[in-house]
Amino acid sequence: MRSQRLDPLIKVVQQRQDEAARRVAEREKVVREQQDRLEALRRYADEYAASPGTASISPALLVNRMAFRERLNAAVVQQAGIVDHSRQVSDVERARLLIASRETLVLEKLADSYRAQEAKVEQAKAQRELDEIGGRRARATATAEDAS
């Protein structure tokens, strides 16, 4: 039967879909971790920028402090880029999951259609057999009535 021939293919496509879902979950976890790092960096940069004491420090320390703030801001910008990249990769994986889900759905609908068609053929075959049995009985009854 055609519907049974699709079962191994459906199983393979469902495995691909499961793998795509696993990759999406992993990528979303990475995005969350990267976002958390970005937020921590931003908080630290804000706290560092807001800390008092810049008026009474030496010019050398002030230069060091400003250089550190620049490096900290650069780290924030770099981490924001990493977050954006992670989101893009996650979006790609989500699109792959959507495609895999559609493939699975199409094959399942095709198999259901084949099963419905096969059931219809079996039902028609059973009806023909019942009609044939009923016809034989009617002929047998008519022959018996003619003989009496």
**Is there a domain that residue 47 lies in?**
yes
**Is there a domain that residue 90 lies in?**
yes
**Is there a domain that residue 70 lies in?**
yes
CATH number at residue 26: 1.10.287
95 pLDDT band, cuts 50/70/90, is very high
pLDDT for the residue 143: 84
**Is there a domain that residue 77 lies in?**
yes
Structural domain boundaries enclosing 87: 2-111
**Rounded Cα–Cα distance for residues 68 and 81 (Å):** 20
**Rounded Cα–Cα distance for residues 64 and 68 (Å):** 6
- Which value, in Å, is the radius of gyration of the alpha carbons in the chain? 36
Whether this model's pTM surpasses 0.85: no
**Is there a domain that residue 131 lies in?**
no
State both tokens at 44.
């630290």
Flag whether pLDDT at 139 surpasses 70: yes
**Rounded Cα–Cα distance for residues 29 and 31 (Å):** 5
Report which of residues 110 and 62 the model is more confident about. Answer: 110
**Rounded Cα–Cα distance for residues 86 and 35 (Å):** 9
**Is there a domain that residue 82 lies in?**
yes
The domain total for the chain is 1
